[in-house]
Amino acid sequence: MDGTANTFDIISNFGSVFTSFWWLILPIPFWYIFKIVWFDYVAFHSVDSWNRKYKWTMLEVIPPRDVERGPKPMETFYAGLTGVMTTHSNFDVWLNGAFRQDFFGLELVGEEGKVHYYIRLLKQYRNLVEAQIYAQYSDAQILEVEDYYPKFPKVIPNKNWDLWGTDFQFVQKELYYPMKTYDQFEESVTGEMIDPMAALVEVMGALGPGQHIWLQYVIVPVQEPESVKSGKALADKLKGKPAVESVGRFWHDIIDVLSNLLAGLFGTPEFTAVAAKKEDQPLDTRLSPVERDVLKAVEENLGKNFFKTKMRLIVLGKRDVFDKTFVSAFIGAIKQFNDMNMNSVKPHDISKTYANTFFKERISNFRKRKIYDRYRKRNMDGENIMLSTKELATMFHFPDMSVKSHALTQTTSKLSVAPSNLPIE
Give pLDDT tens digits for 182-207: 988 877 666 677 888 999 999 999 99
Q: Do 41 and 151 belong to one domain?
A: no
SS3 93: helix
Q: Do 210 and 358 belong to one domain?
A: yes
**pLDDT bucket at 418, cuts 50 / 70 / 90:** very low
Q: Do 47 and 62 belong to one domain?
A: no
**Pair 338, 179: CB distance under 8 Å:** yes
Q: What is the mean pLDDT of residues 361-386?
A: 92
90 within some domain = yes
123 within some domain = yes
Q: Do 130 and 221 belong to one domain?
A: yes
270 within some domain = no
Q: Do 74 and 166 belong to one domain?
A: yes
184 within some domain = yes
Burial class (CB in 10 A: 0-12, 13-18, 19+), 355: middle
Q: Do 29 and 149 belong to one domain?
A: no
Greatest mean pLDDT among 74-88, 96-110, 374-388 lies in: 374-388
Give the per-residue pLDDT at 5. 59
Residue 273 pLDDT exceeds 90: no
Q: Do 209 and 136 belong to one domain?
A: yes
Q: Do 38 and 88 belong to one domain?
A: no
Give the per-residue pLDDT at 33. 82
332 within some domain = yes
From CA 69, how far away is CA 195, in angstroms rounded?
Answer: 11
**Pair 388, 178: CB distance under 8 Å:** yes
Q: Do 172 and 142 belong to one domain?
A: yes
Greatest mean pLDDT among 33-37, 286-290, 377-381 lies in: 377-381
Domain with 38 in it: 25-54
Q: Do 131 and 41 belong to one domain?
A: no
Tally the domains of the chain.
2
Secondary structure element (H or E) that encloses residue 347, with its range:
strand 345-347
DSSP E strands, 39-189: 56-62, 104-111, 114-122, 141-145, 161-170
127 within some domain = yes
Give the per-residue pLDDT at 78. 95
Q: Do 63 and 89 belong to one domain?
A: yes
Signed CA dihedral, 343, 184, 329, 163: sign only: positive
Q: Do 37 and 94 belong to one domain?
A: no
202 within some domain = yes
DSSP E strands, 181-331: 211-221, 306-318
Give the per-residue pLDDT at 175. 83
237 within some domain = no
